[in-house]
Structure 1
C-alpha cells in the first residue's frame, strides 16, 4: 500500500483544510492522547512526574553490551545494530509517559486530533522541530518515514502500515492518517513511529543501507564516533531543538553515553567491578545478594538500587518451536514442561529468591484468574472451545515439583503424555513408531543472561535424559544467533517478552497467525491460534476498560494453556548496580519501573 502524497496547490490545500476542520463529530486538537479516558497531565504540565526538571546536565557514562554489532541503522532487518540507538537518537511525533498505562504527549507534534471513532488521526508538527543537522522536520519527512518503514523497514513496522488506508498532508504542518480497520490503538501507534529525514536517502536503497549509513534523527543524542563491533559513542546535541519541551525537561542529562562491547558476560561484569562501566542490570536475585560485595560496593563507590514496578510479568523462559514436530503436539510440550524441575532449579541457582511466572500477564489486573473462566472471558472463548487445549476454559496451572532433585511424580506424568503422543523408550532412547529418536536443540546467544540460561539447561538436560530425550545446547555469538532466530532454526531458545499495562497491536507481532511464518517476527513459537487472533481483535476494539481486561485475560488463557513456553523467573524488581555519582528521582518512580525510559533517560550525574 502506498500513501497519497500531497501535490495540490495552495487553493486546494486551504479548501481541504477547511473541509477537514468542519467534519461532524471531529474532536479538538489536544496536547496528548490516552488509550482510555483523558491524559493525566494537563496541557501546561512542566515535566514528567518521574523526571527531575532541575537535574543537572553533564557527565560521561559507559554502558556495556555483549557480542558485537555490524549496523548503525536500527530500522531495517539487515544487520545487528546496538539496541539502544532507536531510543536515543530518533524521535516520534508523540512521546510516552511511563507513569500511565498508555498515554502520549506531543513531541515532534504540538497537538493531536482524532475522528469520533479514532478512524483517523491528525498531527500538527511543531514549527521549531529540527533534525540533528539543523534542517526542519517537515510533513514530507513524516509521510516518507511512514511509507519507507512500512514497506522497506523492519517487519515490526509493517503490520501497522498494512492498516493505513491513506496518509496525506492536510495543512502547512498537518498530516493525517486514515485507517482501514477498526482499531482504537492505531491512533496512538501512529504517534510512535520514528521520523527520518527523506533527503538523506534520495536515490538510495534504505533496506540495503551499509555499515556507515547512520540515519539522521531529531533526538537529543547523535552518533559522535564508533568502531564496528567495539563501541559506539553518543553525544548530547548542544543544539537539540526540544530541550525545553515539558516532555523533555529533566531528561537526557548525560553529555556522553558510550556503549562498549564485550565478548562475554563474565568480562563485562569484571569491567563493571573495575568501574569501567557506569552501571549494570542484574537479573539473578541470588547473584544480587551474594556476588555484589566486592570492594567498590563495600566502600560506597558503587550503589545497589532496586526499582519496583507495576507491569505484568511478561514471559521469560524457553520457547518451543511448534513449526517442528513433535513440538506441534501440546502433549509433548506439556511433557517437556513437566520435566523442567523449576523448584529445584530455582533453589539451586537463585536460592529460591525469584518466584516463577504463572502466566503472561500475571501480577497485574490483566492476568487470567485461577480456576474456570468467568462469564465475560468464557463468552469470548466459547466460539473456539473445540480447538482450545485442555485447561483453557476450566483452568490451567503450571506443574509444581516437590522440590527434590528427582521430580518423580512429574516425570511419571510426562512419560504418560509422551506415550499418548506415540513416543516410547526403546534401547534407552525415546522413539516414535518409525524408530526416530527424540533429540532437541536449544539455541542460546552470548548475552547477559547466557550464564544463567546455560546453567539451567545443564540441569534440564539431565532430567530429559531420564526420559530418553537428548538435549543439545548450542551457544552462538549475537550475529549467528540473530540469523538463526530470524529463520526459526531451533527447537527451543531463550525468550523474554516484556508486556505493558496496555497491550495492543504488538500482540499480533508476538503471537499472531499472520506473522508465524514471516522471517524476523517475534512469534518465535510459531503459534497459529484463531482464538488468540480473535482475542487480540477484541482487545483492540474494546470501548471500555472492562471489555479490554476481559479480552486480555482471555488471551492470557490461550497463551498459557497452549504450553508454548517453559516459564522461569518473574522479574518483579529491577536491580541496578551503578556508580555513586549516578542519581535518579527515588521518590517519584514510574509505574513501569526500570527501562530505557528510566535509565538512562531520567538519571543524571552529580558529584558529591
Structure 2
C-alpha cells in the first residue's frame, strides 16, 4: 500500500501553474489551498484516503507514557492526553493530509477571502451542533477565538495579535480582518477549536482542569476517565456532521480509550498482553527484533509500515544557547563532533541502522541542497552574509565518524574547536578562561528509555573531552515546568515539519521566544536572517520563491548547530490487532494527524 505519488506531483505542478490565483477567492468556496485551488471539487464524496463504506463499531485502545491532570488542551496549565485536542474538538475547516496545505468545510459551509489577503470570512453550517444539541453560533466562534487568543495557550496568542477585528456580518457570517496581508493566516483562522461560550460563563478558562469537560462539536465525547490512568471517548450517536463530505468514512470506531503507563517498557508489555490493540513503534531495532511475540506469530497482531513524503523535521538533542556554554557555535560544533552517530545508530537500530536527519526539511522538496547556495536561495541569504555562521552559504554537512567506538577523528576535531573557543583541559576537566569547569546538565523525561541509552553512550564520549555531564530524569510535570522556563542545558526535542511551513515557524525559531517563557524556541535562537526567510515564506508570490525561502531557512537552522540530530524513517511502524483496518489509499503525509484513528475501522 503506497501513497499516490503521481497525484502529489500533479498537485505541485498545478499549484505552480495557477499560483497567480493564490488564495484570492471571487466568492464563497467549499475549500481553500495555500497555493492554487483545492484538488477536491465541491461535490466530493469523501477524502481520498478515507473509506466511505467503512463499517462502524469496535474499540481502539492506545497507550501513553506519563499521566494527565487536565482535559483542556487549550491552556498552558496542566498535562493533557496529547491526542485529545484532535479527537474531542472541531474547527471551522478540516485539513486534507493528501495535499500540502488545503482545508475543506467542516463547521463552516464556505470560506471566502479577498485578493489582498486582508480578511477571511466563514459561513457556519445550519446543522452544526454542540454535543448537548445546542446550535453553534457566530457568537460561539468569536468568543472561542478571542478567549484562546487572550487567555489560552501561547500558541494561540501570536495569531490573535495579527487580527485587527472580528465581527458578525449582516448576513450572519464571521469575518476576521488582519493587521497586514498574510496568505497563510486565512487558513490558520479556519483551524481553531470551537467551544461553547455559555459553558464558560463564570468559569475561569485558564484554570480549568478535570472539573470542567469542555462541550464541543466533535464526533467523540469524553465518556469516562480516571486522573492519570485512562480516558475513554465514545462516538456520539447524534453527531451532527456524520454525512458531510469531510467526515464520510472517518471516526468509525465506537470507543477510543487511552491508557497511561509509567514507562515505555510497561506500555509495550501491556500491548503484548492484549491490553492495548495498537502501538506506534519508533525504534527500528525493536521493531525488527522484539515484535516476535505469540500474538504476532499467530496472526492476532499485524505489523504495518506506512510510507510518507513529509519533511523529517528535527528529532535530536537541542542545546540551549541562553546558557553561556552554548553561545559559541564552535562549542556546539564540538558537541556534534563528539556525538558518535554511526556507532550509536548501529547499537540502537542494529545492522546498517537508519539514515540520519541531515537538515530540518530533509527528505522533501523543501530541504536544503548539498554544496554552496545558488540561485534564489543565495540571493535571499546574501544580505545577511556577515551574520551567517560558517557553512550557511558555503554548504554544511554533519560530521561523520568511522563507526568505531572510539570516534578518534571526531574527538580530535571537537578538542580543537573547544580549544579555539577558549576551553582547555586541566586535571582532566574541561575548563574555561574563568577557571570554571564545563558544567553540563542533560534533562530527560521519565520513561524515555531509548534517549537515556543514547545519552549513556554520548556521555562516555564527552568524558573523553573532559566534560562530565549530569543526566537528570524527571517526571512529565517537572519536565514541562523546566522546559517552559528554559531551565536546561540540553534536552531531547522533536519538531514535526510539514510540506507547507508558515506562521508556526515564528513560534519555533522567532526571537520573541528567547525570553518569553513557554515558547517553542527551545534553542533560544535569535536570527534576523531566519526571521527574514520566514517573512519571505509568508509573503511569497510564487511557489519558486516560497521554496527558496524554506531552503534558505533550512540552511540557517542546520548551520546554526543548535541540535544534535538523530535518525528518521520514511515509514511509520504501527503494530495493531488484525481486526483494525485502514484504507489502501494513503495520504502523502502518511501516518500523521488525521490518520489513526480517524480513517481506521474495526471488523
TM-score by length of 1: 0.94
Q: 1:590 matched to which residue of 2?
A: 587
Q: 1:282 matched to which residue of 2?
A: 281
Q: 1:21 matched to which residue of 2?
A: none
Q: Which moved more, 1:177-186 or 1:47-56?
A: 177-186
**Offset of 1:172 from its aligned partner?**
4.2
Contact 1:93 1:107 in 2 (8 A): yes
**Offset of 1:445 from its aligned partner?**
1.0
**Offset of 1:515 from its aligned partner?**
2.0
CA deviation vs aligned residue, 1:177-213 (integer Å, no higher than 9, x gap)? 1111222000000000111111111122211113211
**Offset of 1:571 from its aligned partner?**
2.6
Q: 2:439 matched to which residue of 1?
A: 439
**Partner secondary structure for residue 169 of structure 2:** strand
Q: Which moved more, 1:387-396 or 1:197-206?
A: 197-206
1:417 and 2:398 matched: no
Contact 1:265 1:446 in 2 (8 A): no
**Partner secondary structure for residue 570 of structure 1:** coil
Residues 364-443 of structure 1 aligned to structure 2 (within 5 Å): 364-443=364-443
Pick aligned residue for 2:537 from 536, 539, 547:
539
1:517 and 2:515 matched: yes
**Partner secondary structure for residue 246 of structure 2:** coil
**Where does the alignment leave 5 or more consecutive residues of structure 2 unmatched?**
1-23
Residues 4-403 of structure 1 aligned to structure 2 (within 5 Å): 27-351=26-350, 352-403=352-403
Pick aligned residue for 1:474 from 469, 472, 475:
472
Q: 1:600 matched to which residue of 2?
A: 597
Q: 2:486 matched to which residue of 1?
A: 488
**Partner secondary structure for residue 100 of structure 1:** coil
Aligned partners of 2:285 and 2:170: how far apart in 1? 58
Q: Which moved more, 1:510-519 or 1:133-142?
A: 510-519
Aligned partners of 1:127 and 1:173: how far apart in 2? 11
CA deviation vs aligned residue, 1:15-73 (integer Å, no higher than 9, x gap)? xxxxxxxxxx9720000000000000000000000000000000012111111101010
Q: 2:452 matched to which residue of 1?
A: 454
Aligned partners of 2:266 and 2:452: how far apart in 1? 17
**Partner secondary structure for residue 470 of structure 1:** coil
Q: 1:11 matched to which residue of 2?
A: none
CA deviation vs aligned residue, 1:242-284 (integer Å, no higher than 9, x gap)? 0001100000111101111111111100000011101101111
**Where does the alignment leave 5 or more consecutive residues of structure 1 unmatched?**
1-24
Q: Which moved more, 1:172-181 or 1:299-308?
A: 172-181
Contact 1:320 1:565 in 2 (8 A): yes
Contact 2:343 2:403 in 1 (8 A): yes
Q: Count how many residue pairs are aligned between Structure 1 and Structure 2.
A: 579
Aligned partners of 1:516 and 1:278: how far apart in 2? 42
Contact 2:69 2:209 in 1 (8 A): no
CA deviation vs aligned residue, 1:290-331 (integer Å, no higher than 9, x gap)? 110011101000000000000011100000000001111111
Aligned partners of 2:145 and 2:71: how far apart in 1? 20
Q: Which moved more, 1:515-524 or 1:128-137?
A: 515-524
Q: 1:508 matched to which residue of 2?
A: 506
RMSD (Å) for aligned C-alpha atoms = 0.9
TM-score by length of 2: 0.95
Aligned partners of 2:319 and 2:302: how far apart in 1? 38
